[in-house]
Amino acid sequence: MILELLKADITEIQVDAIVNAANTSLLGGGGVDGAIHRKGGKVILDECIQIRNKQGGCKTGEAVITTAGNLPSKYVIHTVGPVWNGDKEEKSKLLADCYKNSLNLAIQNGIKTIAFPNISTGIYHFPKDKAAEIAIRTVKDFERISEIEKVIFV
């Protein structure tokens, strides 16, 4: 497995799947979430609405998958990161769950290349250094990581 760090627009990366730092409603928002919904088009929102109707959104730490609409990737994996409030242990576990659950969905869908944004570090205020450490450690320690060819952190 190759780990790569890239400064780029995640909506323009050519991988099997990009990960969206979503909110629990799955209806789009600001930052990465808004950009993915805008550039991906209505099909992503329609699929998110179907998921909401079926299971009531996406809980913190969980992940769901849709097609990618107009984006160059095939799929978008939507995961909901924790809002940082200083409860380091609980929030760190939830953030690690975002990466684990996204990788599990990737493997279940035959995804070999995946790009992650820095989950929860925007309006959710997770400290960037802690978030990066959790992201890298969780991906490297993931038990089935050999089934993924490349992970890009954007």
- Which residues participate in catalysis according to the annotation? 33
Residue 76 makes CB contacts below 8 A (sequence gap 6+) with 17, 18, 19, 20, 36, 40, 44, 65, 66, 67, 68, 69
Residue whose C-alpha is closest to residue 88's, from 33, 140, 137, 125: 125
Tokens coding 85? 């409030």
